[in-house]
Chain A
Amino acid sequence: MLGEGILKGLAETARNFVGSYFSAERLTTVQYPEQRIAPIEATRDFPFLVYDGADWEAGLRCVACQICEKECPPKCIYIEKSTGKKPDALGKPQFYPARFDIDISVCMSCQICVEVCPFEAIKMDTEFELSTTDRFGGLLYDRKELAKSNEHYHKIHPTEAAAVDAHLAGEKAKADAKTKAAAAAATAKAAASAAPPAGGGA
């Protein structure tokens, strides 16, 4: 009959109204600054730069390849390449960012920089309490503010960070094997080049 649904709806809202005073589990919101809900693992807002080890400047994974700068749709990343080189995690000498700025007032949290980075150097953060009284300088983060440790990455995105670590370890093992093979080949070659005269002598 007409109006039946309205009565059902009214009963439902009345149940919510009374129930929310008696059972706390009905309440879907929390008293925010005092109470907090841990963010879910897939949460993301703005990018940060990952570093390994204790020293942020030496440990930055970024090699200033500028792929993220070129791919960024709103163009919020600004990178200046270093003039000199420093050894990266694999021990290979690489450029590093002399300047790495992200304007988070422009960033749209699309995660494209993370997708394109071949060095697992840029990842998405979950920190959201970023309000500031200076809307220009306060929202333009330099590389020091962006640098966060691998431990922090493990804390906010454990599954993803473990996969990244496994991948990097694999890369390192491959690189090590390659250098070892190269070294072995070099010694073999050296031995081979040394052998014929010895063989000839025999």
Chain B
Amino acid sequence: MFANLDQIFVLLKQWAVGWLPASWQAAAGVLLCVVAIICVFPGLFAITVLLERKGLGRMQNRYGPNRVGIFGILQPVADGIKSLTKEDLVPLSADAVVHFIAPVFLVVVVFMGYAVLPMGRNMTLVHLDAALLFYFAIGASTELSVFMAGWSSRNKYSLLGAMRAVAQMISYEVPLLMSSVAVVMITGSLSLDKIVAAQNQYTWGLPHWYIFTPWGFAGFAMFAIAATAETNRSPFDLPEGESELVAGYFTEYSGFKFAEFFLGEYVGMLSISGLGTTLFLGGWSSPLAVLGWVPSWFWFFAKIMLSMCVYIWMRGTLPRLRQDQLMNFAWKFVLPLTLLNLFVTALWRFMGDGWERWLVCSAILVLAYVVMGRTGMHRDHLGARRYRYAD
């Protein structure tokens, strides 16, 4: 029974496709999966927006939305109706075609990333050998969409926001990739299915997730920082810094096109949480061996929703960084640590199974963190700005 529940979506798909002639079945199966992905993740987006608005409210000692439906649960519906019925404005001097394509492109690209994510046992749309490579290639093209939006709007704020976004996303792409490479080094495969399979083992009932190793923990921390920056989330939301740039690259967007950017951002967050979950948190595997009977897809979605909650928590806590702080942090702190982490991973791989590797790897990473935190992130770089002449 539990085995059937675990595979319920796979069985449903097989049942639905079974009605069609054999030559159509493969194509119809893929189409069905695509439709499922396109329906499920915007649904999660709606839930996340509600959680975010209520959660941020509570973190600031407010009620949050509580008028639409019981406890305000229909707020995302109201938001959706609002953005659908709003007037869609395009500036007179804007490049109308590019202005139109940019949000569509963002949504399409963001959804393409889901093609390779294993969302449960046997629940990967495309079993690519180079899935991780595909994911990063697709993920990098969101920058193009952002720049298209900023450039085509013919607005200084939009352009500034887009420039910031491109600078930030390219800077953080490097640590994002480098922290994932550590996983590839241990697993020996770029296939996300194999990465999950490697973590889906248990010793004394505890899982072999990569986050429970020194290099995996450091890698996950770096990955989370880079992923936050990559999705333009607070505290790295400079591209849309509303206090200085109105709304950044989507200043000139209204109505449904704005909603598309909003959707793209959140679906992108869900997607990169899914990748982080797959790489470091064991993907769809259960956190304890005794919980193995719970459906695998439940664990995957529980883990990504948990990451969304952490995203919201971070947003409710941290103020926005300054541009120079952002760049210093990427190039002087995160990148060197990820490079060191690659070395530590190699050490871990070749030191055998004893306790020594735990000690050595942890010591190197903690030492590097403390030293770099003291020196690299000295007050001159991250602290309050000092005015040389004004004082």
Pick the contact of B317 from A1, A2, A10, A29 — CB < 8 Å? A10
State whether the Cβ of A199 lies closer than 8 Å to any Cβ in chain B: no
Q: Pick from A16-24, A39-47, A169-177 the stretch touching chain B.
A: A16-24
Q: Pick from B55-63, B96-104, B147-155, B300-308 the stretch touching chain A.
A: B55-63
Closest to B57 in A: A20
Chain B, interface size category, equals 10 to 19
List residues of A whose CB falls within 8 A of some B CB: 1-3, 6, 9-10, 12-14, 16-17, 19-21, 26-29, 31
Question: What is the distance, in angstroms, from A91's C-beta to the closest C-beta of chain B?
Answer: 56
Q: CB distance B373 to A16 under 8 Å?
A: no
Q: CB distance B58 to A6 under 8 Å?
A: no
Query: How far is it, in angstroms, between the C-alpha of A20 and the C-alpha of B374 when the chains are bound?
Result: 36
Q: CB distance B59 to A16 under 8 Å?
A: yes
Task: Annotate B304-320 by CB proximity to A: 1 below 8 A, 0 otherwise.
Answer: 00000000011011100
What residues on A are CB-neighbors of B318 within 8 Å? 6, 9
Query: How far is it, in angstroms, between the C-alpha of A14 and the C-alpha of B318 when the chains are bound?
Result: 13
Closest to B373 in A: A2
What residues on B are CB-neighbors of A9 within 8 Å? 317-318
Given A2-B369, A20-B61, A27-B62, A13:B316 Cβ within 8 A: yes
Query: How far is it, in angstroms, between the C-alpha of A12 and the C-alpha of B369 when the chains are bound?
Result: 24
Query: How far is it, in angstroms, between the C-alpha of A21 and the C-alpha of B62 when the chains are bound?
Result: 10
Extra inter-chain contacts (7) besides given A17-B59, A20-B62, A27-B63, CB under 8 Å:
A2-B372, A10-B313, A12-B317, A17-B58, A26-B61, A29-B61, A29-B63
B residues 326-378 in Cβ contact with A at 8 Å: 369-370, 372-374, 377
Q: CB distance B55 to A17 under 8 Å?
A: yes
Q: CB distance B63 to A31 under 8 Å?
A: yes
Query: How far is it, in angstroms, between the C-alpha of A10 and the C-alpha of B318 when the chains are bound?
Result: 8
List residues of B whose CB falls within 8 A of some A CB: 55, 58-63, 313-314, 316-318, 369-370, 372-374, 377
Closest to A5 in B: B318
Q: Is the interface of B mostly helix, strand, loop or mixed?
A: helix
Most A CB contacts (10 A, CB to CB) among B60, B317, B377 go to: B317
Q: List 18 A-B contacts (CB under 8 A).
A: A1-B370, A1-B373, A2-B372, A2-B373, A2-B377, A3-B373, A6-B318, A12-B317, A13-B316, A14-B313, A16-B59, A16-B61, A20-B61, A20-B62, A21-B58, A26-B61, A27-B61, A27-B63
Q: CB distance A6 to B317 under 8 Å?
A: yes
Q: Is the interface of A mostly helix, strand, loop or mixed?
A: helix
Query: How far is it, in angstroms, between the C-alpha of A13 and the C-alpha of B373 when the chains are bound?
Result: 24
Q: CB distance B61 to A13 under 8 Å?
A: no
Question: What is the distance, in angstroms, from A12's C-beta to the closest C-beta of chain B?
Answer: 7
Query: How far is it, in angstroms, between the C-alpha of A17 and the C-alpha of B60 when the chains are bound?
Result: 8
Closest to A29 in B: B62
What residues on B are CB-neighbors of A3 within 8 Å? 373
Closest to B59 in A: A13
Query: How far is it, in angstroms, between the C-alpha of A6 and the C-alpha of B59 when the chains are bound?
Result: 15
Query: How far is it, in angstroms, between the C-alpha of A28 and the C-alpha of B373 when the chains are bound?
Result: 37
What residues on B are CB-neighbors of A27 within 8 Å? 61-63
Query: How far is it, in angstroms, between the C-alpha of A26 and the C-alpha of B369 when the chains are bound?
Result: 37
Q: Which 3 A-B pairs have the closest CB atoms?
A: A2-B373, A13-B59, A9-B317
Query: How far is it, in angstroms, between the C-alpha of A29 and the C-alpha of B62 when the chains are bound?
Result: 6
Question: What is the distance, in angstroms, from B378's C-beta to the closest C-beta of chain A?
Answer: 10
Query: How far is it, in angstroms, between the C-alpha of A29 and the C-alpha of B65 when the chains are bound?
Result: 12
Query: How far is it, in angstroms, between the C-alpha of A17 and the C-alpha of B62 when the chains are bound?
Result: 9
Closest to B372 in A: A2
Closest to B376 in A: A2
What residues on A are CB-neighbors of B372 within 8 Å? 2
What residues on B are CB-neighbors of A29 within 8 Å? 61-63
Q: CB distance A28 to B61 under 8 Å?
A: yes
Query: How far is it, in angstroms, between the C-alpha of A12 and the C-alpha of B317 when the chains are bound?
Result: 8
Query: How far is it, in angstroms, between the C-alpha of A6 and the C-alpha of B313 when the chains are bound?
Result: 11
Closest to A6 in B: B318
What residues on A are CB-neighbors of B316 within 8 Å? 13, 17
What residues on A are CB-neighbors of B374 within 8 Å? 2
Closest to A8 in B: B317
What residues on A are CB-neighbors of B63 within 8 Å? 27, 29, 31
Question: What is the distance, in angstroms, from B128's C-beta to the closest C-beta of chain A?
Answer: 36
Q: CB distance A13 to B317 under 8 Å?
A: yes
Question: What is the distance, in angstroms, from B236's C-beta to the closest C-beta of chain A?
Answer: 13
What residues on A are CB-neighbors of B61 within 8 Å? 16, 19-20, 26-29
Question: What is the distance, in angstroms, from B317's C-beta to the closest C-beta of chain A?
Answer: 4
What residues on B are CB-neighbors of A2 within 8 Å? 369-370, 372-374, 377
What residues on A are CB-neighbors of B59 within 8 Å? 13, 16-17
What residues on A are CB-neighbors of B370 within 8 Å? 1-2
Query: How far is it, in angstroms, between the C-alpha of A16 and the C-alpha of B372 when the chains are bound?
Result: 32
Closest to A15 in B: B59
What residues on B are CB-neighbors of A12 within 8 Å? 317
Query: How far is it, in angstroms, between the C-alpha of A156 and the C-alpha of B344 when the chains are bound?
Result: 71
